[in-house]
Amino acid sequence: MRYIVTKNKQIKKRMRSFNEYYSLLREAIVSGNLKSSLDRGAFTHPKQILNREIINSLGLKRHRISLGYGQEVGEDIVREKIVERENLIHGTDYNLENVTVVAGAWFGVEVVIEEITQKYANKKPKIAVIGPTHYQLFQRPIEVLGLEVIGFDFVNFKGSTPKTKEEIDQILKCKPNVVFVTNPNNPIGEYFPSNLLRYLISTCKKRKIFVIIDEMQNFLATDGKGINYGKWIKAKNVIRIDSFSKHYALAEYRVGWVIADKSIIGSRYTGITQHVRGLMGNAPRAANDAIVKLLDFEINEIRNKIEHPLGRRIKLLYKKEDFIIKLLSKNPRIEIIHRDACFNLTVRIKDFPSDIEMSRRLMNRGTLIMPCTGYGYRTEDVVMRITFAERWSRIKHSMAVLTSILNEKK
C-alpha cells in the first residue's frame, strides 16, 4: 500500500505534535540561544511592495475611501486582480462572485468546512484528506464541529500523492462528503497529478462530493510552470484556497482567498462570507495594496511578458536549495526527497529515534528545523522540512549544526 489510513484519534495526535514543537520553540526563544531558523520562510523586501505611497495610505494620506465595514467579501480591486490572474492562467471565466478574501488560507479551509457542514443540516459531513498535509487545519473540523476526518497519507516514501485512478477509487470507498487535497502538498511540495485531479473532480461531481484544493504551496515550481489546470477546474463542487503566505513569505498579512461557485461564496448573510463577516474579510489597507501590487506583477509577467520585479531574487532561492542539496547528499544518513514546488526541502534521517527528538537536539544547538509528524509522517521515520528561503548565514549555521549532530557517534 502506498498510503496509510488515519482516523480522528491519530490525526489529533499529529495535530498535538505542533504543540510539542512550539513549546520547545518558545523555551528556545526564551533561552536566547537561537541563531538560525529554517522552519519557515522569510525573503521579501517589504519596500519593494510597500512603497511610500502605500505607507502614506496607512494614515498620512487617506486618498481612497476606506471600507472597514461593508465589504466583508474582500476589497473589489483585490478580488478583480485575483479573477484576472486566475482566468489568464487557467482559461476560466471566474468573476467577482466567485471570490472571497479570507484571513489566510488556513482560516479559509476552516470556514469552507464550516459552510459545507451547515449545508448538511441533518447529518455531519465526512472528510477524506489526501495527505501528507498540514493536519492542524483539521483541529476545528474535528474538535469544534465534531466531524469525522479520515486521512489517506502517502507517507511510505513511494511518492507523496496518488498515482492511479484505482487509488482515487479506493479512497472514495469511505464515502466522504468532502475530499481535501493540497496541491502541491506540504511538506514535500509534490503536485497532485493533474489528470488524477480532473478524474477526482468529475467522479466527485457525480457523487455530490465537494473537493477542496489548498494551493498555497504553489510557488517556485521546479518545472518553471506550476499549476495550470484548464477550464475544467471551474466546477460547482470545487473550492480552491490560496494565499501569498508562501509565495512571498507574507504569512503575517493574513490575506488569503477562496475561489468557488457563487452559491458557496455567498454574501453578507450567506455562504462563506457570513462566516468571515465579523472577522473582516476585507483585509487591512496596506495588506490589500501589497497583494494588488504583487498580483499586478504576476499579471504583467503572464500577459505582457514583463519580468516580475521580484523574479530574479526569488530565483536566487534555487542557489540556496542547491547548496543544501550538495551538502546533505554527501551524508549517508540523509535521504533527500524530491520537491516540485515551494521553498522547503524535505529530508528523511536514518538511525535517529524521532523527528521531535531531532528538533530538540537542533534547538539545543541554536537552530530550528520543522519536524513532519504534524503533516502525517511517522515520528520514527524522522522526516524534517528544511526551508531554504533564508539568509545565507542562517542556512550555513543551521546546516552546520544538522551535519554535526549527524556526524556524532550514535
Ligand X SMILES: Cc1ncc(COP(=O)(O)O)c(C=O)c1O
Residues 295-334 that bind ligand X (CB under 6 A): none
Sequence-separated (6 or more) residues with CB below 8 Å from residue 148: 7, 8, 124, 126, 127
Residues 268-287 that bind ligand X (CB under 6 A): none
All cell numbers assigned to 66? 476606506
Question: Cβ 408 to ligand X, closest distance in Å?
Answer: 31
Question: Cβ 147 to ligand X, closest distance in Å?
Answer: 18
Work out whether 226 is an interface residue with ligand X (CB under 6 A).
no
Work out whether 289 is an interface residue with ligand X (CB under 6 A).
no
Work out whether 79 is an interface residue with ligand X (CB under 6 A).
no
Residue 162 and residue 403: Cα distance in Å, rounded? 33
Work out whether 256 is an interface residue with ligand X (CB under 6 A).
yes
C-beta closer to ligand X: residue 57 or 373: 373
Beta bridge partners of 27: none
C-beta closer to ligand X: residue 180 or 297: 180
Residue 127 and residue 212: Cα distance in Å, rounded? 10
Residue 294 and residue 87: Cα distance in Å, rounded? 16
C-beta closer to ligand X: residue 217 or 237: 217
Rule CB under 6 A: choose which of 2, 90, 134, 320 binds ligand X.
134
Rule CB under 6 A: choose which of 37, 92, 161, 186 binds ligand X.
186
Strand 383-387 to 370-371 pairing: antiparallel
C-beta closer to ligand X: residue 11 or 105: 105
All cell numbers assigned to 380? 520514527
Question: Cβ 125 to ligand X, closest distance in Å?
Answer: 20
Neighbours of 40 (CB within 10 A): 17
Work out whether 251 is an interface residue with ligand X (CB under 6 A).
yes
Task: Report the Cα–Cα distance between both ends of the chain, in Å, rounded.
Answer: 32
Work out whether 106 is an interface residue with ligand X (CB under 6 A).
yes
Closest CA to 160 of 332, 315, 351, 340: 340
Work out whether 182 is an interface residue with ligand X (CB under 6 A).
yes
Question: Cβ 214 to ligand X, closest distance in Å?
Answer: 5
DSSP 153: E
Rule CB under 6 A: choose which of 73, 105, 258, 283 binds ligand X.
105
- List phi, psi (to 5°) of 278: -70, -20
Rule CB under 6 A: choose which of 54, 92, 98, 104 binds ligand X.
104
Rule CB under 6 A: choose which of 177, 237, 245, 379 binds ligand X.
245
C-beta closer to ligand X: residue 125 or 374: 374
Please spell the DSSP secondary structure of 390-407, one letter per residue: S-HHHHHHHHHHHHHHHH
All cell numbers assigned to 39? 522552519
Using alpha carbons only, give the angle 256, 103, 65 rounded to the nearest 5 degrees. 90
Choices 104-112, 225-233, 294-302, 346-354; region in contact with ligand X by CB under 6 A: 104-112
Residue nearest to ligand X (CB): 104
CB-based contact 211:239 (threshold 8 Å): yes
Tell me the number of residues near ligand X by CB under 6 A. Answer: 13
Rule CB under 6 A: choose which of 6, 44, 133, 177 binds ligand X.
133
Rule CB under 6 A: choose which of 171, 216, 260, 363 binds ligand X.
216
Choices 102-110, 262-270, 275-283, 320-328; region in contact with ligand X by CB under 6 A: 102-110
Question: Cβ 338 to ligand X, closest distance in Å?
Answer: 18
DSSP 193: P
Work out whether 78 is an interface residue with ligand X (CB under 6 A).
no
- Where do we find the cell 502525517? 376
Sequence-separated (6 or more) residues with CB below 8 Å from residue 295: 78, 81, 82, 84, 85
C-beta closer to ligand X: residue 92 or 133: 133
Please spell the DSSP secondary structure of 36-102, one letter per residue: EE-SS-----HHHHS-HHHHIIIII---S---SSS-TT--HHHHHHHHHHHHHHH-----GGGEEEE
Where does this chain bind ligand X (CB under 6 A)?
104-106, 133-134, 182, 186, 214, 216, 243, 245, 251, 256
